[in-house]
Amino acid sequence: MEASRRVQGMGEPALLKYYPLVDKVKELGKKVYYLNIGQPDIKTPEGFMRKVNAMKENVLAYAAPEGESSLRDEACKYYERYGLYYKPEDMLITNGGSEALLFTLLSVCNPGDEILTPEPLYSIYKEMASATSVKLVGIMTHTEDGFALPDRKTIEALVTDRTKAILITNPGNPTGKVFTKAEIETIRDVALAHDLFIMTDEVYREFVYDGLRYISPGHYPELSGHCIIVDSISKRYSACGARIGFILSKNKTLMHEIRKLCQMRLAVSSVDQAGAAELFKLGMDFFDEILAEYTHRREIVNDALMQMDGVVGKKPTGAFYYMVKLPVKDACDFIEWMITDFEYEGATVLLSPANDFYIHPEDGRDEVRLAYVIKESDLKQAMKVLAEGLKTYRKEHPEACK
């Protein structure tokens, strides 16, 4: 007997192969700066645990499949602040953003259907597509021009009779890209012309820099039947462990079908939902200090990278990721070498190999993603370690460099 082809076709995160190496060198006393994963170090707001600890229920019963009304009511108020006007009946609560995406794919696509998505892409999209027998078709974007979308003609050339949706992440992971109004409207026009859904993953909504404006497909009334917002509290409230996600759409027929999947899995944790409702009561000023902190960290990373010979990239405009080309032929080899064979002042860094963020792993082989989610002092030292690592690698392995 063997497992299904659907599951066998799924990959595993490329970083998994590095963790045994990291554990080994840490045992030997080497410090490792983790720039590989988007786990915020910002303190989770106290209101979450205060609400959870104050619960007096004698029995933790199943919550409503679609989510508790108290949470959906508070979430609607939150979305209104961004000009997104959804009613509680337009919203489903899920076990994190991942389940929201999974349920959306299952409800929109039949096996063999296609979804257009800009590359580089959040790597989990690939595994979600494999698990649901959906084909991802990449819209290639490039480091050198800040991952700008190509023109409408280029995108439309990718549309086939099996295309069902366009999937975007805005702001982007791994790119830090914030889509412009013109880019969102290009996506809108393609979706309307070909009767496609737009799935928009907006978990980094708060992290937009340089005075840029966050724009969602959900802002366009003409897309009310096409737009599906996937969201989560994980990043904005530094609450990754509270698995609370959202699906929002004004397409009532689709939401009725997705609700069947919510009924199938019964419920989301009522405890986490109670805590999440408190988070949405925080005012918008809560994010001011956090955005200022991430802006500062972005400058630290950008200033350091731009002083490294051969590094190519543009300062990201959103999220907390920076994706760059390195002057190496194979970033995976460089990352492994940094762990096993290099240290500077007793430390090294762990990066994300960017080929994990492409549909075809031969793409992006010279690129890495850095997550600037560690405190200032550690981030500054990590960038020194990376700079020294690149110098040493190029000196010791010139054949592996460009």
State the span(s) of the chain assigned CATH 3.40.640.10.
46-279
**pLDDT tens-place string over residues 252-279:** 999 999 999 999 999 999 999 999 999 9
Q: Is the pLDDT of residue 97 over 80?
A: yes
* Cβ-based burial of 189 (10 A; exposed 0-12, middle 13-18, buried ≥19): middle
Tokens 């009767």, residue located: 195
Q: Are 360 and 136 in contact (CB under 8 A)?
A: no
Q: Is the pLDDT of residue 311 over 80?
A: yes
Q: Is the pLDDT of residue 15 over 80?
A: no
Round to whole Å and give the CA distance between 305 and 326.
10
Q: Are 136 and 112 in contact (CB under 8 A)?
A: no
Chain centroid offset of residue 129 CA: 15
Q: Is the pLDDT of residue 326 over 80?
A: yes
State the span(s) of the chain assigned CATH 3.90.1150.10.
5-43+286-400
The model carries a pTM of: 0.96
Query: Which phi and psi (to 5°) does residue 247 adopt?
Result: -120, 125
**pLDDT tens-place string over residues 120-141:** 999 999 999 999 999 999 999 9
**pLDDT for the residue numbered 196:** 98
**pLDDT tens-place string over residues 208-246:** 999 999 999 999 999 999 999 999 999 999 999 999 999
- Mean pLDDT, the chain, integer: 96
Residues 36-60, buried b or exposed e (16+ Cβ, 10 A)?
Answer: bebebebebbebbeebeeeeeeeee
For CA atoms 361, 298, 318, 19, give the dihedral sign: positive
Pairing of strands 91-94, 245-248: antiparallel
Residues 329-346, buried b or exposed e (16+ Cβ, 10 A)?
Answer: ebbbebbebbbeebbbee
Fold classification of 5-43+286-400 is Aspartate Aminotransferase, domain 1 (3.90.1150)
Round to whole Å and give the CA distance between 115 and 135.
6
Structure tokens at 188: 């809108």
**pLDDT for the residue numbered 316:** 97
Round to whole Å and give the CA distance between 190 and 164.
12
> Which architecture does CATH list for 46-279?
3-Layer(aba) Sandwich (3.40)
Q: Amino acid letter at 146?
A: G
**pLDDT tens-place string over residues 174-212:** 999 999 999 999 999 999 999 999 999 999 999 999 999
Average pLDDT over residues 335-353: 97
Q: Is the pLDDT of residue 339 over 90?
A: yes
Tokens 């994010």, residue located: 287
Percentage of the chain beyond pLDDT 70 is 100
User: Which of 217, 151, 141 shows the shortest CA–CA distance to 176?
Assistant: 141
Specify the DSSP class assigned to residue 281.
T
What confidence tier does 17 reach under pLDDT thresholds 50, 70, 90? confident
What confidence tier does 8 reach under pLDDT thresholds 50, 70, 90? confident
Bridge partners (DSSP) listed for residue 227: 198
Q: Is the pLDDT of residue 173 over 90?
A: yes
Q: Is the pLDDT of residue 52 over 90?
A: yes
Helices assigned H by DSSP within 160-285: 181-194, 252-264, 270-279
For the chain, what percentages of helix, strand and coil (3-state, to nearest 5) are there? 40, 15, 40
**pLDDT for the residue numbered 61:** 92
